[in-house]
Amino acid sequence: MAPAPAPIPKALRALDDQPAVRDFLARAYADGRLSHAYLFLGAPGSGKTEAALALAQLIVCPNGGCGNCDECRRVRHRTHPDVRVVEPESASGYLVEQVRELIEDIPLAPVRGSAKVYILTNVGLLRREAANALLKTIEEPPRGVSFILIGRTVDSILPTIVSRCQRVPFKIMSPGMAVRNVERKVGANEVEARIALAVAGTPERASEFLQSSNRRQVRRLMVRTIVELARDDEWDVLCSARALVEAVWVAVGRPVAKGRGKAKDDPVKRALEERIAGQEDYLSRGAITQIEKTVKRELTARERSGMMEALAVAESLIRDVLTLCEDIPTPIVNQDVADAVERIAAGTCTGGAVRALEAVARAADDIAHNVNPQLAFEVMLLRVKEALACPPSSR
């Protein structure tokens, strides 16, 4: 006789699109045998990060992953001091210094409860030296410390890392399922969901995008900028690049200085205070300095992610232009600005749209390699303007 299914904690109900993963984690929790190290494997958009945050709620929540308490809300919003989401801080992968700082943070006592969770994304970018620094900690972590590692395939991750984790495979989510996922989570319509997925990439991030007025403002500004390029002069383009960068800063929580004065709010100081709240009297000056360095790098990574999202808006819009230029019988994504897409397509050609896409891709590569975002945006917009001004002979 098959065992009765384990009750599903509310936090895990976010994984209804991955029922096998949801039921597996629910059973492990009910049986009191959650692993200290999981490796979530699957394609982008399959909900791995969302599942990691759901599992983190389960671990730190005093009510068994209720999904409603302050602990669960903080985890969901990524503001819980005992749940850290760590991403590679270099275009080539995790930095050794980044991993060492993480290892120094692990023995510190939890701020709010009795457990700490470290979520490491893109562990395929955890290179050998950085991985070796982390191996022993993952194998034998301090009591109450859990790791959730996220990657694509076993083959892309160092075997020494794979061997120390319990593997959890995620099924591929179809585009239609991803759209329905976003619609259900935030009450969006199909057009809104498709736009958000084109910009943010995954259902989880798409849902967050739709719930952020500042991130949606970045999209509106980028769309308007691309639409107006044809009649803008170089000075207009430079001003637009500056406005886009500042809009991204607002979206990621970085204060924007007015005039010559400095921003009154220091995001690093604010984030540091949240991270060490309740521990000030127990941390050495050296420990606080290390935490501050980590916070600075996390904020830099968040800003880079915001810039990439803005470029994804440009890419999505220009792909729609290419779709019309080629008369492809597929609905465009940005249907809310269909008239603008049609105007751009009417004034350019296939080759121009392709060159414009190449300009956006080059800007993304520049930002990934730490080129100044404003400079990258300026060059990209000028190149897109030139590309879309397709000579009549080539139309």
pLDDT of residue 191: 95
Q: Give CATH superfamily name and number for 10-173.
A: P-loop containing nucleotide triphosphate hydrolases (3.40.50.300)
Run of H or E including 169: strand 166-169
- Contact indicator for 101, 293 with CB cutoff of 8 Å: yes
pLDDT per residue rounded down to tens, the chain (395 residues) = 445 677 889 999 888 888 999 999 999 999 999 999 999 999 887 889 889 999 999 999 999 899 889 999 889 888 888 999 988 877 678 888 888 888 888 998 888 888 999 999 999 988 888 888 888 889 888 999 999 999 999 998 989 899 999 999 999 888 888 898 899 888 999 999 999 999 998 888 899 899 999 999 999 999 999 999 999 999 999 999 999 999 999 998 876 665 544 445 666 666 666 666 666 666 667 666 767 776 777 777 788 889 999 999 999 999 999 999 999 999 999 999 999 999 999 999 999 999 999 999 999 999 988 899 999 999 999 999 999 997 644 44
Q: Is the pTM of this model over 0.95?
A: no
What length is written for the chain? 395
pLDDT of residue 252: 87
Q: Rounded to whole angstroms, how far apart are CA atoms 124 and 100?
A: 18
Q: Give the tens place of pLDDT for each residue, 294-336.
A: 677 777 778 888 999 999 999 999 999 999 999 999 999 999 9
pLDDT of residue 314: 97
DSSP SS3 for 1: coil
pLDDT of residue 216: 96
Q: Rounded to whole angstroms, how far apart are CA atoms 187 and 207?
A: 9
**Tokens of residue 284, six digits:** 């050495």
Run of H or E including 223: helix 213-228
DSSP SS3 for 11: helix
Q: Rounded to whole angstroms, how far apart are CA atoms 13 and 73?
A: 15
Q: How many CB atoms lie within 10 A of CB 186?
A: 16
**Tokens of residue 334, six digits:** 């940005």
Burial 230-240 (b: 16+ CB within 10 A, else e): eebeeeebbeb
Q: Rounded to whole angstroms, how far apart are CA atoms 391 and 347?
A: 9
Strands 145-151 and 37-41 turn out to be parallel
Q: Give the tens place of pLDDT for each residue, 3-21.
A: 567 788 999 988 888 899 9
pLDDT of residue 260: 45
pLDDT of residue 177: 85
Task: Tell me which long-range contacts 280-288 makes (C-beta under 8 A, separation of at least 24).
Answer: 282/109, 283/108, 287/104, 287/108
Residues 6+ positions from 354 with CB-CB distance below 8 Å: 322
CA angle at 202 for the pair 200 and 203, rounded to the nearest 5°: 105
- Please state, in angstroms and as integers, the Cα–Cα distance from residue 288 to each residue in 269, 277, 298, following that order: 11, 11, 15
Domain ranges of the chain: 10-173, 178-211, 213-394
